[in-house]
Amino acid sequence: MHGPPRLGRPLAGLPLVAAAWLLAGCGVLGSPAPTGLFLPAPTCGGARVVIPGALSCDDLVGIALQVLRTEVPRQLDRGVIAVTVELQGCPRNEVPPQLDCTGEDFVQLVTFTFEPSVEGGPIEPSLSVGLAPVSGRVLGIVNPLIQ
């Protein structure tokens, strides 16, 4: 007789799975060309609204990171010192419009704050990727220097 299954054995690989998950979140895994980008743990907050089916903070950060990797990789090359995720009401009548909130009442703003700029490099202190809370649809990139 083998007796009841031991619960400790299936969990033996858990540290490796956890490490892989953390590395994926830091940009080392999960991309065709790993960047070695270190991301600090995101701060998640904003309006306190229950939205059924809303994406998790980590999922939103992953989507936003991919957008920045595609659209503005030089910004990420500077390094990221903070990541914040905030739920806000979609801005209306913005001039100039930076987000396309068509069909959305709320936006999840995922803000990446960068290391100081270097001479001749990008100067934005941060960029925010606006995402639809449930679908993760990219609503736009908010540049604080344009506001």
In contact, 113 and 90? CB cutoff 8 Å: no
Q: Please, which residues have CB within 8 angstroms of residue 113's CB and are 6 or more apart in sequence?
A: 80, 81, 82, 83, 84, 125, 126
In contact, 78 and 19? CB cutoff 8 Å: no
Report the pLDDT value the prediction gives residue 36, as an integer from 0 to 100. Answer: 65
Of the candidates 67, 113, 66, the one whose C-alpha atom is nearest the C-alpha of residue 86 is 113
Q: What is the pLDDT along the chain (147 residues), one digit of tens a residue?
A: 444 433 333 333 333 333 333 333 434 333 333 456 789 999 998 878 889 999 999 999 999 999 999 999 999 999 999 999 999 999 888 878 899 999 999 999 999 999 998 888 888 999 999 999 999 999 999 988 875
Cα gap 21→122, rounded to integer Å: 30
CATH of 39-142 given 3.30.70, 2.60.120, 2.40.50, 3.10.450 = 3.10.450
45 burial level (CB within 10 Å; 0-12, 13-18, 19+): exposed
Report the pLDDT value the prediction gives residue 93, as an integer from 0 to 100. Answer: 82
User: How far is the CA of 76 from the CAs of 27, 36, 64, 79, 82, in angstroms?
Assistant: 11, 11, 12, 5, 12
Q: List the 106-114 sheet strands across, edge first.
A: 43-46, 80-89, 106-114, 126-131, 138-142
Q: Per the structure block, which two tokens stand in for 74?
A: 């030089």
Cα gap 147→141, rounded to integer Å: 12
Domain ranges of the chain: 9-35, 39-142
Cα gap 90→130, rounded to integer Å: 9
